[in-house]
Every structure is written in C-alpha cells, then in structure tokens.
Structure 1
Amino acid sequence: MSESTLEPSHWRSEGDINLTPARTQWQDAKAAARLTSSQTTKLLARDSAVFLHQAMSTPCLTALESAHGSYLTDCDGAQYLDFHGNNVHQIGYGHPHVVNQVQQQMAQLPFSPRRFTNEIAVRCAEKLVNIAGGELSRVLFAPGGTSAIGMALKLARHVTGNYKVISLWDSFHGASLDAIGVGGEACFRHNMGPLMAGVERIPPPISYRGALHSPDGSDLHYADYLEYVIEKEGGVGAFIAEAVRNTDVQVPSRAYWQRVREICNRHNVLLIIDDIPNGMGRSGHWFTHQAFDIEPDILCIGKGLGGGLVPMAAMLTKDAYNTAATISLGHYTHEKSPMGCAAALATIEVIEQENLLAKCRQDSQFIQRRLLEMKSKYPLMGDVRGIGLLWGIELVSDPITKARAHDAAEAVLYHCLSHGLSFKISQGNVLQLSPPLTIERDALAHALNLLENAIAHAQQGIDSNYAPSAKQ
C-alpha cells in the first residue's frame, strides 16, 4: 500500500499523523535554521531504516535525549512542555519517589513467576481496591492497557454467557485485534479483514456535533439509543466505553452516565469502563467514572498507573464475578510484576502525598477560564471542553457549518512545537491538552500563552483568506 492512500479523513481520528506536508515542512524549517544537528538527522535516519513504518509513529518527529518533570528535551537541546505524553505522565517524568521505589524493588525482587505471589503485588492490589471504593474489590494485573481490555472482554463473556458487545464509534480501546474489534476508529480496522464477531457500535454522546446532535446540547437520547440496540440485538453481554473520551475530549453529562448505568442494570449487561488514559487522577478523581457518581462492573486502567516508568495495567471488578478460577483470563508473563507494582504503588503515594487530585481540580478551573477567554476572541475555536487536566479545543474554519479546520490545527501544532509546547491533534482538528498533574502554575500559564499566540497566528491566516483583497 502506498503512503498516498493514508490521506482520507478517518486516518486523522486518533492523533496527528506523521506523513503530512506540514510535518515535512516543520522538519525542513528546523534543518534550514540549523536547529537540527547532524546527530539528530542521523538518528532519525537510523530509526526510519530499522523500525517498521506505521501511522502516527515511525517516521518520527525528532529524537529525545531526556525527560524530567513536565519537560522533554531533544538531542538538539530544545525543550518541550509535554501536554501529550501518551497519557503516562500523570506525575511527570522521572519522579524521584517512583524511581527510588522501583530501584529498591529491582535490587530485591525484579521478577515473580506466575505461580508465586509477592508482597508488593498484594499491597498494590489492596491499594487499588481502596481508592476505587464501592464493589470493585478484585484485581488482575496486565503488562499494558490493551491486555486489560482483552481480560475484561473475556470476563464479560464468562459472566454473562453472551459474546455480543456494544461500543462507541470513534472509540479507542487498544491496538490488538480484539481491541480494534471493539474500537470505533476506522484507521485501525482498515484492511484488517474479519474482526471479533458480535460487536455493535452506536454513536458517542457528543454535544457540539454528531449523528444524533441535539440543538439544546442534551445527550440523554444517546443513552436511549443504547437501550434500543440492546433490546433489538439481544444477547448483549457488555457495553464498553471511556467515561470521558480521551482522544478528542468528549465529556458526557452526569445524567447520561446515570441512565447508562440504569440501562445496563435493567438488561443484565456488564458496564466496562476503559479508564486507561484518564485514570490515576487526570479527571480530578482517582478514576473518571467517579466524577459521574457511577460504578462500572469492570474497570480497566493503565498508562499513568506505571508512573511513566514501567508499563503497567490492571482490571478491577466485583467479587460477585470472581467465578473464573478454571479460566486463564490473563496468564501474562508479568502478571504480578514486582517492578510494575512498585511503580504503581509509588505513583498512588505521590498523588496522595502531593494532594494532586485537589490541585488538578484547581488547575482545571484556571485552564477553563483561559480557554473560554481565548474562545471569545478567536472564531477559529469552535468548542472548548474538558475535565480536570484533559482539555480539547475544536478548531473550525466556519463557526456556523463547523467545518473541521485541519490545516489550521496542524499550523497551531507546529507553531507550538517550534516554541516549546507539544500536544496531540485528534479527529484532525481537535487540539488535545493533557499536561502532567504535577505541572507548576507558571509553566501552565506559559503553555497557554504559547497556545494563544499560535491560535492568533492561525486566525490571521484564515481572516486574510476572506479579506476583500484576497477575493479579488
């Protein structure tokens, strides 16, 4: 398949893609300004030569040398405030407490075969149960979030006896075949052939645009549609969704989630919440569903759980579903990883000791005020939405038609990268901002100033295209 086939709009759904002319222009401009060293150029070439190329990854943007706190530093000495971090950097990079705890664990017990348990794994599971609260009292660990999703899907089949799953269009639950089977992003399913049977997708609850968009901004009818599909389809075992969609930051109402919980209860459908990118405090709560006063039947967490240091994920569920003793739901080599559990437990301790949940909620109010001020000045900003330290800015070329401003979004991204701010783009036009919970207020304000300068610059470009002189 040629790279030219990667241009349809659905390839933009998950993040900013790495094959656009804007990417090439940014890298060429850096090289022309002598901001890219021969060391970086050679490393990028070696990377491109040895790694399998794939969308949103190789070929790469630039080469990193270090990561500390809220900052990435590349091999040319340029620093970037990281508002992306693949959602692993809830407590920043290289937090000394996490590093210290993992080093100690590495020296004592670096690995534990499956048939054995160990103190740190039990303590970590006990702590997760404690912060989850409610009935989520059973844990399975996994080496990554995608694996946790796989375990959840298997458990749902076992518990309900039904294999059918309902998920949301545009959702992302991982990149393995089973995960893309329940995911709703076309870019991951393209040319993959038959996937997991029994998956039905419904529209996600979106207030700004969408297939079932309501003029009054209500999203309850999306929940009603879920019940309609459950009743018509029959044999549904689970509904899987993020409590808040991470990629383009869709925040449903509390009423939506309350109704979804009622619907799942009424039809004996297990509610699986994927909190892999947003868990561990990004919403201002330990887990995002807690912001909506609901409890899932199965909770999947990962990414930030390992403190940005060790790959780590977990599935939490109710004691009532502890009925699969003769089935290997996970059976992963690093099932009770001492190092992963040490990193996870240390991450929880950092969030508690530094009072990061309260700080996140305070920072959220600061971001919201600044973004709404910016929105009042720039028509390019069609919508602003978020929770905690997860915010999305939807750029539109026309506020009436809501046409997605793909080119403007890329212009903003590369302008910001040139001035030391990194974030991702989703759906081709949504700027997704997810800084570390540990970020200092001065750094947060600086990042938003950089962002506003970039948006103002892009707005000028749009305005000039509609100026009378430009039309003549």
Structure 2
Amino acid sequence: MKPQLSKNERIVEGDINRSEGRKKWLAEDVDAHTQMLLEKDARYFLHQALSTPCLDVLTNAQGPYITNRNGKTYFDFHGNNVHQLGFAHPKLVEALKKQLDSLTFSTRRYTNEPAIDFAEKLTSLTPGLDKILMTPNGSSAVGIALKLARAVTGKYKVLSFWDSFHGASLDVVSVSGESVFREHMGPMMPGVERIPPPITYRGIYEGNEDKAIEYLEYVLEKDNQIGAFLAETVRNTDAQIPSKKFWKAARELCDRYGILLILDEIPIALGRTGKLFAYEHFDIIPDILCLGKGLGGGIISQAAIVTKSGYDRFNHISLGHYTFEKSPMGAVAALTTLQVLEEEHILDHVLQLEKIMRAELHVLQDQFSIIGDIRGLGLLWGLELVKDPVFKEKADEEAEAIMYECLRNGLSFKVSKGNVLQLCPALTITAAELRQALSILAQAFQKIIKTQKL
C-alpha cells in the first residue's frame, strides 16, 4: 500500500511529486510513449522525494531552453542552478572536446595544468581567499569546509540556520536545517546548533534583523564549542536576502568569538545575484567559500572550496582526497565558465535583466494580491503566494496550479516551501526571451487566479 500524501509534504524544498496535480499532468499532458518511458524510469530508479515520478523526458538542452522528445521547449527557470552560461555553451563544449583529446583524468599524487590554471584564476577573483580544494560535488565541498573548520578551531560544533539547505549527504544533512532531508534518517551527526534565519517575510523576527543579530550573539557567547557558522549568503530555495547590516554584524561576531564563517554559495555564485559572488553585496569576506553546481558550466559536476592561506597547515589530515579531486575535465569546465562570464560581460547583462524582472513582477503583484511578497537579486527571484496577506496563510494549491499551467505553456520552475515560485533563468537569456517567459507566468495567473483579488 502506498503511503498517503500528508499536508506536511507540501512545505518542503521543492514541488510535490505525488500530488493530484502531478498525476493529472502525467495523465493529460504527456503522450503515451513518454508515459511508457517515465514508467520505465520509475521502475529502474529508486523513488525519492522531489523527483520520481519525473515530469517529462528530455532530449536536448540549449541556451535557456530544455526540449522534450516531442520537440516541445520549456524556458528552464530551475536548471538545478547549473545554467549560469545556459546549456551547452559553445565555448565550453569546444574546450571540453579539446581536453578529451589530451588528459582526461589525473591520478592522485599528480597534478595537471588545467587544475593549476583554474586555481590561479579562481583565487585571482577572491581577494583574501587564496587556497582551494576541488571536489566533485557541492555536498563534498561543504564536508571539506566542516572538516577544515574543526582542524583550524579545535571545536566540533557547527551553527546553522533552520530551513537551510547545504547538500544531501548524511553529514551535510546533519548540519542543514531543511526538515524534508532529515526525516526518517535517525540520529544525525552531533554538535549542531540552529537558529531562526533573519528572513523578511513570515519569519519569527518579522523583518526585525536586530533581534536576529541579538539571538546570534547570544548563542555564540553561550557556547564556546561552536567553531563554524555555516550559512547560505542568500537563501536560494525561496530567495531570502539578509541585509548588509546583518552580514557585517555576523562577520564581526565570528571574529570576536573565534568562529569560522563558512558561506555556501553553491547555487547562487557565479553571477546569479548580479555579482560574481553573493558575499560581495555585503562587504564581507568569508573564511571558507563553498562553490559548485554552475562551476562546471552545466556539463561537468565540479565544486570547490576557497579559503585563507593561513589555514594551509594540515598536510597530515585528509580534508578531501576525492578520486576526481583535480579532474582536468572539471578544471577546464570551471576555468572556461569563469572566462565566459568575463568575456561576455554576463554580470552586466544580469543587472540589466534584473530591472526587467523586478518591474514585471511588481506589475503582476499589483494585479494579484495573492502575491504576498516579491524578493530577489540579479536573476534569482521568489514570489510568495498567500491566501490572506494579513495572516499569510500559504496559497500552496494555487502555487502548484500555476506551476502546471506554466509547464503546459513552456515555462518550467520550482515551487519552494509549498508556496514560493522560484524563478531562476539562465543568465544568458535575452531580454526578449525573459519577457516571453514572464508573459507565460502572467497568463497563468490570469487563468488560475482569474481577476479575483485574493
């Protein structure tokens, strides 16, 4: 007997894959052959939350689009946060083809020029952070950061935010705050303290960041075994943006109490917020920076940590030691990604598109009071839908209905926390394409919400 969908399952990191809406989509919007392929997919892959059953079967991904086996294209406003360059950027594809004809793997205890070139380039972009370790994925990068923090401080505890997401491996799940990834996992790694995030909407502080700073200081003062504060500089899943005041205060408190500030920018770095790294918005420098996802240009899985040279004193400890640590393919992908971001002036492009996104979404909010909050930077945006703007009851059913209506018309995005439409397009999308995608969103609101003032 299959377990029933609980109400709590709506309040998670992504859209619900076992809802009536998903069943209706699969029954009415997917052709018979695609249904057969999706059934085979479900037969051979382990089922898990947030994925199985899948939405569609893809055959291509180019620029801001993904394409299914029938030739239907979707604007991909999700992209697993790997599509800073869009999909299959020609310069990246060419660079990887060229590398395939030479060195494809680097055995441990040996290095290679692509890895060295990448390290040199990356650290040139992170003043104050001049040592790196490469790793195949973001969870591993966070794991390395946690181990390094223990080695540096001699303290085993970690402070993080409730509702935060830092990866899916058991050690990283233990220090994250997103409940859906910790459920049914039994005892977690000990030594984790969590505090409420300083979010601006629906948060415990209701936008009063002074209270958030006060709480942070209280915890750090009381517990002298905390050695690391792990946080997303900007929370990706529902686009929550702390103020410069908060981050500067947090940086000062970490310095005062001898705590390493680890900033997880795995989904939000590399131009997503309009700056190469999100921490640049707040005039701070972390002690350890975690990067991943788009670092491999949406083709190669590549991640890294960047940290201070003063912490390079643990050659007797295996901090990472991953098989593909200095992957020449991953290094070429990451180096080319950084070069394309510069050569094609993508950060300037993002800032121009940010103006369009902000203006269009606020026009939508003026039409539909169900949009309780709009927040974003660069090309990372969240629309929080509420049934009542005073009591802020979540409009989760409406959010899901809007998502499926957009899918029918060629726009794909993620629903976060049950009621937040997270809009995260490729940074290379054109202004015309962005307006076209936002038009699909507006039409979905017109159809699903109609003209009612909810």
TM-score range, shorter chain: over 0.9
| Structure-1 residue corresponding to 2:198 | 205
Whole-Å separation in 2 of the counterparts to 1:353 and 1:277 = 22
Q: Contact between 1:13 and 1:170, CA under 8 Å: does it hold in 2?
A: no
Whole-Å separation in 1 of the counterparts to 2:348 and 2:387 = 36
1:335 to 1:387, Cα distance in 2 relative to 1, 3 A? same
Q: Which amino acid aligns with 2:20?
A: P
Q: Contact between 1:142 and 1:330, CA under 8 Å: does it hold in 2?
A: yes
| Structure-2 residue corresponding to 1:84 | 78
**Structure 1 regions of 5+ residues with no counterpart?**
467-472
1:305-342 CA deviation, whole Å, 9 max, x = no partner? 00000000000000111111111100100000000000
Whole-Å separation in 2 of the counterparts to 1:10 and 1:230 = 33
Whole-Å separation in 2 of the counterparts to 1:3 and 1:81 = 33
Whole-Å separation in 2 of the counterparts to 1:361 and 1:326 = 45
| Structure-2 residue corresponding to 1:414 | 404
**Cα drift, residue 83 of structure 1:** 0.3
Q: Contact between 1:10 and 1:186, CA under 8 Å: does it hold in 2?
A: no
**Is residue 125 of structure 1 aligned with residue 119 of structure 2?**
yes
Q: Which amino acid aligns with 1:107?
A: D
1:5-37 CA deviation, whole Å, 9 max, x = no partner? x52425532111211101111221214xxxx2x
Whole-Å separation in 1 of the counterparts to 2:152 and 2:2 = 44
Q: Pick from 324, 343, 355: which aligns with 2:333?
A: 343
If the length of structure 1 is used for normalisation, what is the TM-score?
A: 0.94
SS at match of 2:372: strand
Alignment of 1:233-248 (within 5 A): 233-248=223-238
Whole-Å separation in 1 of the counterparts to 2:190 and 2:147 = 13
| Structure-2 residue corresponding to 1:160 | 153
Q: Which amino acid aligns with 1:20?
A: S
Whole-Å separation in 1 of the counterparts to 2:450 and 2:74 = 25
Q: Which amino acid aligns with 2:361?
A: L
Q: Which region of structure 1 is more displaced relative to structure 2, 232-241 or 160-169? A: 232-241
Whole-Å separation in 2 of the counterparts to 1:92 and 1:29 = 30
1:138 to 1:70, Cα distance in 2 relative to 1, 3 A? same
1:319 to 1:388, Cα distance in 2 relative to 1, 3 A? same
| Structure-2 residue corresponding to 1:109 | 103
**Is residue 145 of structure 1 aligned with residue 138 of structure 2?**
yes
| Structure-2 residue corresponding to 1:319 | 309
Q: Contact between 1:70 and 1:439, CA under 8 Å: does it hold in 2?
A: yes
SS at match of 1:136: coil
**Is residue 373 of structure 1 aligned with residue 360 of structure 2?**
no
Structure 1 runs of 4+ with >4 Å offset: none
| Structure-1 residue corresponding to 2:214 | 224
Whole-Å separation in 2 of the counterparts to 1:97 and 1:327 = 38
| Structure-2 residue corresponding to 1:17 | 16
Q: Contact between 1:10 and 1:185, CA under 8 Å: does it hold in 2?
A: no
Q: Contact between 1:9 and 1:428, CA under 8 Å: does it hold in 2?
A: no
SS at match of 2:132: strand
Q: Pick from 83, 89, 92: which aligns with 1:95?
A: 89
**Cα drift, residue 462 of structure 1:** 6.2
CA RMSD of aligned residues (A): 1.3
Q: Which amino acid aligns with 1:368?
A: R
1:275-300 CA deviation, whole Å, 9 max, x = no partner? 00001110111111111111000000
Q: Pick from 345, 356, 376: which aligns with 1:355?
A: 345
**Structure 2 regions of 5+ residues with no counterpart?**
none
1:227-247 CA deviation, whole Å, 9 max, x = no partner? 111112221100000110000
Whole-Å separation in 1 of the counterparts to 2:436 and 2:157 = 47
Q: Contact between 1:132 and 1:286, CA under 8 Å: does it hold in 2?
A: no
| Matched residues, number | 454
Q: Contact between 1:298 and 1:317, CA under 8 Å: does it hold in 2?
A: yes
1:81-101 CA deviation, whole Å, 9 max, x = no partner? 000000001100000100111
**Is residue 183 of structure 1 aligned with residue 182 of structure 2?**
no
**Is residue 173 of structure 1 aligned with residue 163 of structure 2?**
no
1:351-409 CA deviation, whole Å, 9 max, x = no partner? 11110011111111111111111111110100000001000000011111111100000
| Identity between Structure 1 and Structure 2 (%) | 51
Whole-Å separation in 2 of the counterparts to 1:10 and 1:273 = 28
| Structure-2 residue corresponding to 1:385 | 375
Q: Contact between 1:151 and 1:330, CA under 8 Å: does it hold in 2?
A: yes
Q: Contact between 1:39 and 1:75, CA under 8 Å: does it hold in 2?
A: no
Whole-Å separation in 1 of the counterparts to 2:450 and 2:429 = 30
